[in-house]
Amino acid sequence: MLTSNPFAELAVFLPPIAMQVYIILMIVAVVIGTVWDMLHKSSGQYFTQRQEKAKAAATTELSGADKASLAIRTIAVDVATAGEFCNVQRRISHVLMFYGFIFYLVMTIVMVFSYPTNATPTPAMIPLLWNIGVIMLLIGGYWFFLFLRVNVAKDGQAVFRLVPADLFIVTLLGSASFAFIWEIVQTTGNLAATKIVFGLYILFTTLLFGSVRWSKLAHMFFKPVVAFQRRVEEASGASSLPAPAPSSERS
């Protein structure tokens, strides 16, 4: 199961072009949702004003090499290892979700567009990475949802008391969970059950990518920009924030 392309089996009841068009529509939905969110929150204007303010307050002029170094550090620390989280458990859960989501998303696109049917055998590594991504998502996501959310861990609220901020994690877990269940049900040969679970998978996936305007998915694009700008401000002397505490103190 872990090395079989589940999307190739869809040809039994769904033409390959349908999933390909669906993925294109989801990409368009993410772009529209992100732009809509930026316009609604005036994010572009905010970043421009912040950059101008930081430039005026800077005491040290940074070279292109300095900024390149800061960009690399931002990617290596804030993006690749979720360095903004001081809590180790939250950091691990986010790393699992981040890389799991990347494997899940990229391998889905590869399988749907490059190996849409069994006429072209799918290299075993591709569905294996897809499954690894799903499992990483499920581990990191349910760990975060059940134990690490602020309203649960800090405020003592019930696990299943949902707020608008939970829209992203709920739809993400729904998409990954039903993707995995669909793959399992598909191996039983029960076409009716396969169609039902596949429909639930598509429902949650559509909600995930179609709700960008209201969920935290767009933050995946904004957070690296904010982290980089913060590093630039600290390095140029423009930041009004106190210097971050050593990692030993923060832990």
- Mean pLDDT for back-to-back runs of 10 residues, the chain (251 residues): 92 95 97 86 75 85 91 89 86 95 97 94 97 98 92 79 89 97 95 97 97 81 82 84 50 39
Residue 220's pLDDT is what? 74
Q: What is the largest CA-CA distance in the chain?
A: 68
Distance CA 135, CA 132 (A): 5
| CA distance to 25, 37, 179, 234, per residue, from 218 (Å) | 17, 8, 22, 25
| Helix (H) / strand (E) containing 125 | helix 125-143
Eight-class DSSP state of 43: H
pTM of the predicted model as reported, rounded to 2 decimal places: 0.86
Residue 141 vs residues 92, 100, 209: alpha-carbon distances, Å: 10, 10, 17
Residue 83 corresponds to which tokens in the numbers above?
Answer: 């360095």
> Can you tell me which residue has the tokens 């620390």?
77
Distance CA 138, CA 97 (A): 8
Residues 6+ away with beta carbon under 8 Å from 219: none
Cα(first)–Cα(last) distance of the chain, in Å?
41
3-state secondary structure of 135: helix
Question: How far is the C-alpha of 204 from the C-alpha of 50, rounded, in Å?
Answer: 36
The pLDDT value recorded for residue 251 is: 39
246 secondary structure, DSSP code? P
